[in-house]
Amino acid sequence: MSTMSSSTLVMCIQAVEAEIARLRQSVERGVDELGPDEQETLLSFAKAASELRHLLETARAAEPGLPSYDDLLSAP
């Protein structure tokens, strides 16, 4: 696997989490129920988020100044 910069990793985490939030909010507002395709999409994004969390933890070991995953989610 090739390497990626810490700023790209941060952007990927924020983008994946934004899409997860969008899908969940759609259901919570009663606009949609997730169909099979959207459920699969949500599952895929959740898996990606888990993998990105692990990559960030590894990167933080080498670059202690990186924010935690949870801090990234609370950033404006």
- Between CA 5 and CA 17 the distance in angstroms is 19
Per residue in 15-74, pLDDT (tens digit) is 999 999 988 887 776 656 777 788 888 899 999 999 999 999 999 999 989 999 999 988
36 falls within a domain: yes
Q: How confident is the model at residue 10 (pLDDT cuts 50, 70, 90)?
A: very high
> How many structural domains compose the chain?
1
Q: Tell me, yes or no, whether 56 lies in a domain.
A: yes
Distance (Å, whole) CA 1 – CA 64: 22
Does residue 1 belong to any structural domain of this protein?
no
- Asked if the structure places residue 72 within a domain, the reply is no
Give domain status of residue 53, yes or no: yes
* Residue 70 in domain: no
Q: Give the per-residue pLDDT at 35.
A: 77
Burial class (CB in 10 A: 0-12, 13-18, 19+), 41: middle
Q: Can you tell me whether residue 48 is helix, strand or coil?
A: helix
- Domain hosting 56: range is 6-64
The reported pLDDT for the residue numbered 66 is 93
In a domain, 46, yes or no: yes
